[in-house]
Chain A
């Protein structure tokens, strides 16, 4: 009875087009934002903020980026980490080389730089699809990291290729504490996630999905394949680029090109597979899952089995669980955790009278 839409009549198409047409969902969402935007930074300890919540938000943003490209526009990419690298190093160089560069502007420019590179590597998608496109994005992954290593200019000639992110300061306020960095990350991710949700529920999103589902029919309706696909590459890479810059500036602080390797690209791909392909909510669920699972296992395994199984066991178990889950979701529930959540809500709507 708690979760019911009975009696909530929509009297206009504007109301019907809302992100959360059901009142309970709107209330729940507002609470969620208050918890993560206000309560968490006030109450959570440093470990949680630094090692869990901030990276979850950043990976969610990258996963939204990949989801736009792969989940909505149907173009498989294995190069997400490389676009994060472009964002991270672009932000670093903008702040380094432009006097008085405001941080938020650097963040936006980092996203735009990644978008530009994304469009460049999206060009092959006009001729090739599926597996072959994935291979082309794989080439992007290796090529971009190679370029960043090969030309020391990008890392300001630091001997090891490692760069240290400058201090973040907005309007004179320095974001040094974990709480401040978390709040900044939260705000950026919240705004961009809302924008992504708006994109995918409007004509832009419909164009992406049309091209994904049936490209000939999409063309016959009047969509231009080139424009639609390249826009998906641009927006997707923008999100990955901003995520990469946040990764450097509000999460780990020092980055090197090889840190943005294929492993990271796969990690982001797994996030959208587990969280839900073609879902903004899924990007958050998938990111949280993939950040939390290893931590959970690290704590759980010794507690359950003691030291008997050895140190390597937890990490092997982690791989086995990931592998199993990915196969499960690919075969049984391609829409991932987000879909499971939706099913749970539908059940709840009928509860306790299932007829």
Chain B
């Protein structure tokens, strides 16, 4: 691949996560390098979403360490992750259903806005200038994702594929360093998948955004990933370049085997 991967920015070491008796993740180590597209694959219930939730502080693993840009993170809350430049989309769309597309995407700018609520109450001077400045940035993203015509639509009225796109827009609005995408193409038709692939590659290319991607479509994964990690029953059973993973006997037996 032409893209140049850089230093390790996220480093998970010996992570174990349990929910009561359920072991969602067992002794998992894995890293993400700057600028790469890092895919996580595995059957349903393998622990893929849990991995993303550990990375951005929604879940707190019982064991293991997380290093972010070389620094050990103590217990991390989601808003800390956001402040570190981690944004994400969810497997089950998590848009703000009572708001328009535009407002949903504007929420993505929250951490970059400085005015306080008293200034908002006046909506004059600094507050208005700030709102307009961020609107400009949001409009760039709207244009990039080709959703101009639905800006003022309440998100609840949109079809599934567009909702996924709006969720990506909201994540991009934060101008993240690391983007966690949980099955962004699930339930899409071929055309929508192609669009989504193009957007992901463009984001990675233009902004150098590091991307951690969970995806079931093997064609897509093998095509766009720099490195792939394979999970099964909460354990890591493979990790490496797409070609290495594809030909790994363990992986074939446990996972790909069924499909081939």
| A and B: bona fide binding partners | yes
Footprint of B on A, CB under 8 Å? Answer: 12-14, 16-17, 195-196, 198-199, 201-207, 209-210, 212-214, 216-224, 231, 235, 278
In Å, the complex CA distance between A231 and B106 comes to: 20
- Indicate if the CB atoms of B131 and A206 lie closer than 8 Å: no
In Å, the complex CA distance between A212 and B97 comes to: 10
Q: Which residue of B lies closest to A234 (CB)?
A: B117
Q: Mark B79-93, 1 if CB is under 8 A from A, else 0.
A: 101110001101000
In Å, the complex CA distance between A231 and B116 comes to: 11
Q: Which residue of A lies closest to B124 (CB)?
A: A198
The listed residue with most B CB atoms (<10 A of its CB), out of A12, A16, A17, A210, is A210
Q: Given A203-B110, A206-B103, are A212 and B58 also a contact pair (CB < 8 Å)?
A: no
A-B contact pairs, 6 of them (CB 8 A): A13-B136, A195-B122, A202-B127, A205-B120, A219-B78, A219-B82
Minimal beta-carbon separation of A330 from chain B (angstroms):
16
**B72 at the A/B interface (Cβ < 8 Å)?**
no
- Indicate if the CB atoms of B98 and A220 lie closer than 8 Å: no
Which residues does chain B contribute within 8 Å of A201, judged by CB atoms? 123
Minimal beta-carbon separation of B24 from chain A (angstroms):
17
- Indicate if the CB atoms of B174 and A216 lie closer than 8 Å: no
**B107 at the A/B interface (Cβ < 8 Å)?**
yes
Pick the contact of B83: A12, A205, A206, A222 (CB < 8 A).
Answer: A222
- Indicate if the CB atoms of B132 and A202 lie closer than 8 Å: no
Which residues does chain A contribute within 8 Å of B122, judged by CB atoms? 195, 198
- Indicate if the CB atoms of A217 and B90 lie closer than 8 Å: yes
Minimal beta-carbon separation of A8 from chain B (angstroms):
15
Minimal beta-carbon separation of B257 from chain A (angstroms):
35
In Å, the complex CA distance between A196 and B58 comes to: 32
Minimal beta-carbon separation of B104 from chain A (angstroms):
8
- Indicate if the CB atoms of B96 and A214 lie closer than 8 Å: yes
Minimal beta-carbon separation of A215 from chain B (angstroms):
10
Q: Mark B50-67, 1 if CB is under 8 A from A, else 0.
A: 000000101000000000
Minimal beta-carbon separation of B127 from chain A (angstroms):
6
Q: Given A17-B131, A195-B121, are A221 and B110 also a contact pair (CB < 8 Å)?
A: yes
- Indicate if the CB atoms of A206 and B117 lie closer than 8 Å: no
Known: A202-B131, A214-B94, A217-B94. 15 other contacts (CB 8 A): A13-B135, A196-B121, A198-B120, A198-B121, A198-B122, A199-B120, A206-B110, A209-B99, A213-B99, A214-B95, A214-B97, A219-B77, A220-B58, A220-B87, A221-B110
- Indicate if the CB atoms of B135 and A207 lie closer than 8 Å: no
**Complex interface residues of chain B between 110 and 148 (CB less than 8 A to chain A):** 110-111, 113, 115, 117, 120-123, 127-128, 131-132, 135-136, 139
- Indicate if the CB atoms of A202 and B110 lie closer than 8 Å: no
In Å, the complex CA distance between A278 and B109 comes to: 22
Minimal beta-carbon separation of B80 from chain A (angstroms):
9
- Indicate if the CB atoms of A13 and B139 lie closer than 8 Å: yes
Pick the contact of B99: A195, A202, A206, A235 (CB < 8 A).
Answer: A206
In Å, the complex CA distance between A224 and B77 comes to: 10
**B108 at the A/B interface (Cβ < 8 Å)?**
yes
**B165 at the A/B interface (Cβ < 8 Å)?**
no
Which residues does chain B contribute within 8 Å of A198, judged by CB atoms? 120-123, 127
- Indicate if the CB atoms of B96 and A213 lie closer than 8 Å: yes
Which residues does chain B contribute within 8 Å of A203, judged by CB atoms? 106, 109-110, 113, 115, 120, 131
